[in-house]
Amino acid sequence: MRDVTLEILRYDPDRDDAPHFESYQVPAQEEWVILDAINYVKDHIDPSLTYRWSCHMAVCGSCGMMVNEEPKLSCKAFLRDYGDRIRVEPMANFPIEKDLVVVMDDFIEKMKESKTWLIPKEDRSIEEGEYRQTPLELDAFRQYSMCINCLLCYSACPQYALGTEFVGPAALALTYRYNNDSRDGGQEQRADVFAKSDGVWHCSFVGACSEVCPKHVDPAAAIQLGKMDSAVDYFTSFVTKPRSR
């Protein structure tokens, strides 16, 4: 056991004029993660503290926060890796809804616009059976399907920080994932969002998104590969386009 001081950003829009920090002394165990310490505050010190979490296993992606100014899953950030004073804030680049909870509406809308779901090449009846795929076809996109929508990449992305018109790392990586799925036929439907100026071409390839990704999705790589695919599609369109008379 050791005493840890959590400096947690608090903000209640119904009561506060601006966000502010409050400090809490927590008798923490060394095997605890940041989320355990926050749960202690909630359970034993201040039940009004508001935050998101669910699985405590780095699977659901809901407990993303800024820990000492770095985007982290609080259930994966061990106290033993930090000193006796730890600053916890809501994820950067998003409006604060309350305390450590951010408004995710912009990201959700971008996912809808990007059509990040499977659009089958052909309809199959139940009688015809499932869509089959070889291990090699699965390998073409498997890494980019590991995204858990934690939004840490958006908190780390300097382009998204400059302007939310950028589609962003997770949505673009998932778009690339479906475009490269052998069962999918929706690439043209996604092109207007994926290949536009605010899509893959807006990325300056800083790579911060891949550094903070807890599932090693490497969205930066997906975006650069998407640029290559977009460029090939653009130049191919001149070759295949019928000549005007």
Name the stretches of the chain with pLDDT < 50. Answer: 243-245
Kindly report the CATH number assigned to the domain that includes residue 204: 1.10.1060.10
The 10s digit of each residue's pLDDT in 68-82 is 999 999 999 999 999
Q: Of 102, 136, 155, which closes a domain?
A: 102
SS3 222: helix
The 10s digit of each residue's pLDDT in 22-61 is 999 999 998 999 999 999 999 999 999 999 999 999 999 9
Say whether both 226 and 179 belong to one domain: yes
Q: Of 75, 102, 129, which closes a domain?
A: 102
Does some domain include residue 245?
A: no
Say whether both 92 and 49 belong to one domain: yes
pLDDT at 196: 86
pLDDT at 123: 87
pLDDT at 226: 95
